[in-house]
C-alpha cells in the first residue's frame, strides 16, 4: 500500500491517476501534515510514501517552515514508527539548507531530515514541471496577457530553463518505487531541452496565440519589484518563489532522465497544446 501526501495537487493528481492505472494499491493522505494522530492512523499498513504535500504555492515563508519542514519531520517520525520501507520525495534543483532563497532552503532542510531518517529513501530533485493546470507555462502566458503590450524578461531573458513535463516526472517517481538500486540516492532530473527564458516565452506565446513586446527587466530591480507586484496583485497562483529560478539555474544533465530511468522526456512542442485552450486568460484570472 502506497500513501501519497499532497495527492490533490498538480503532481499528486497525476501520481494518483498513474498508480490507479497500473492497479497499484494507493491511498491519498487526507489529513494535515502536522497532525500526528491522522498521520499515525493513515500510515497503518503502508509500505511506501510518496511525499508531495507542500506549501510552495502559498508563497509564505512561515508556511514553508510549518508545513514543509516541520510537517515532513512529523511525517518521517510517524513513518519510522509505522515501519514504512520507502520514502520518495519531490525536491527542487538548487535545494540547499544554506540557500538564501526560502523555498530552496526549506527543500534542503526537508532533504536533510529525510536523509537522516533511517528510512530507505529516494529524493528526486527536479526542474520546474509543466502540464495542464501548471503554475509555470500557464503562468508565463497569464503574466504576458495581463501585462499587455509587454512581456517581462527578467535579466533580459538569458537564464537557461530546462522544464520537465509532469507526466515524465511522475513516470520517474513511479519507477523509483520499484527500483532498489535508487535507495538512499538523491537524483537530479530535468527536461531534454535547455533554452533561454526569452526563447521559451516567445515559443509559449506563439502557441497560445499572443504577441507581446519583450521588456527586459534588470535583475537588480527584480528583487525589490517582486514583493511590490505580488502584494498589489494578489493572485494565489503566482507564488513569489516563482522568481527564484531567475537567480538559481534549474539545470541538470540533458540526458539525466534517460541515464537514470531509461526513457527520453517529451519535447516541449509535443506537450503544450493545453496552452491553446480558449478562455485561458479568464480562467487564469479566476484561479
Ligand X SMILES: NC(=O)c1ccc[n+]([C@@H]2O[C@H](COP(=O)([O-])OP(=O)(O)OC[C@H]3O[C@@H](n4cnc5c(N)ncnc54)[C@H](OP(=O)(O)O)[C@@H]3O)[C@@H](O)[C@H]2O)c1
**Which residues here bind ligand X, judged by CB under 6 A?**
6-12, 32-33, 52-57, 67, 71, 90, 92, 126, 128-129
What is the DSSP code (8-state) at residue 182?
A: G
Which residue(s) pair with 152 in the sheet? 215
Query: What separation in angstroms does the CA of 269 have from each of 29, 47, 58, 62, 137?
Result: 34, 38, 29, 38, 12
Closest distance to ligand X from the beta carbon of 133 (Å): 9
Closest distance to ligand X from the beta carbon of 220 (Å): 27
| 127 preceded by a cis bond (ω within 30 of 0) | no
Please provide the size of the chain in residues: 287
Q: Which is nearer to ligand X, 202 or 239 (CB)?
A: 239
Q: Which is nearer to ligand X, 8 or 85 (CB)?
A: 8
Residue 268's nearest CA partner among 170, 193, 167, 205 is 193
Q: Which is nearer to ligand X, 69 or 208 (CB)?
A: 69
Q: Which is nearer to ligand X, 128 or 226 (CB)?
A: 128
130 vs 274: CA distance, rounded Å: 10
198 vs 246: CA distance, rounded Å: 12
Q: Which is nearer to ligand X, 95 or 208 (CB)?
A: 95
CB-closest chain residue to ligand X: 9
Q: Take residue 132 and report the three cell numbers written for it.
A: 495542464
- Check if the beta carbon of residue 194 is closer than 8 Å to that of residue 163: no
Q: Which is nearer to ligand X, 164 or 212 (CB)?
A: 164
183 HSE (CA, 13 A, CB side): 11
Q: Give residue 151's Cα distance to chain centre.
A: 23
Amino acid at each position: 500500500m502506497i500513501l501519497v501526501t499532497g495527492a490533490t495537487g498538480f503532481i499528486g493528481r497525476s501520481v494518483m491517476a498513474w498508480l490507479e492505472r497500473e492497479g497499484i494499491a494507493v491511498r491519498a493522505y487526507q489529513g494535515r501534515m502536522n497532525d500526528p494522530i491522522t498521520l499515525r492512523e493513515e500510515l497503518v499498513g503502508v509500505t511506501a510514501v510518496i511525499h508531495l504535500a507542500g506549501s510552495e504555492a502559498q508563497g509564505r515563508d512561515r508556511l514553508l517552515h510549518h508545513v514543509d519542514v516541520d510537517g515532513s519531520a512529523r511525517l518521517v517520525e510517524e513513518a519510522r514508527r509505522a515501519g514504512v520501507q520507502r520514502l520518495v520525495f519531490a525536491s527542487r534543483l538548487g535545494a540547499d539548507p544554506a540557500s538564501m532563497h526560502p523555498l530552496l532552503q526549506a527543500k534542503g532542510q526537508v532533504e536533510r531530515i529525510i536523509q537522516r531518517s533511517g528510512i530507505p529513501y529516494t529524493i528526486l530533485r527536479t526542474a520546474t514541471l509543466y502540464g495542464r493546470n501548471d503554475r509555470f507555462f500557464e503562468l508565463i502566458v497569464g503574466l504576458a496577457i495581463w501585462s499587455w503590450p509587454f512581456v517581462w524578461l527578467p535579466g533580459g531573458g538569458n537564464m537557461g530553463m530546462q522544464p520537465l513535463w509532469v507526466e515524465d516526472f511522475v513516470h520517474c517517481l513511479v519507477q523509483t518505487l520499484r527500483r532498489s538500486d535508487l535507495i538512499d540516492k538523491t537524483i537530479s532530473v530535468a527536461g531534454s531541452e535547455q533554452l533561454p527564458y526569452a526563447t521559451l516565452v516567445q515559443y509559449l506565446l506563439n502557441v497560445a496565440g499572443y504577441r507581446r513586446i519583450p521588456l527586459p527587466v534588470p535583475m537588480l530591480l527584480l528583487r525589490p519589484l517582486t514583493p511590490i507586484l505580488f502584494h498589489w496583485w494578489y493572485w494565489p497562483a503566482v507564488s513569489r518563489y516563482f522568481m527564484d529560478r531567475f537567480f538559481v539555474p534549474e539545470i541538470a544533465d540533458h540526458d539525466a532522465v534517460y541515464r537514470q530511468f531509461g526513457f527520453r522526456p517529451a519535447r516541449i512542442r509535443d506537450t503544450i497544446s493545453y496552452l491553446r485552450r480558449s478562455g485561458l486568460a479568464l480562467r487564469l484570472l479566476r484561479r
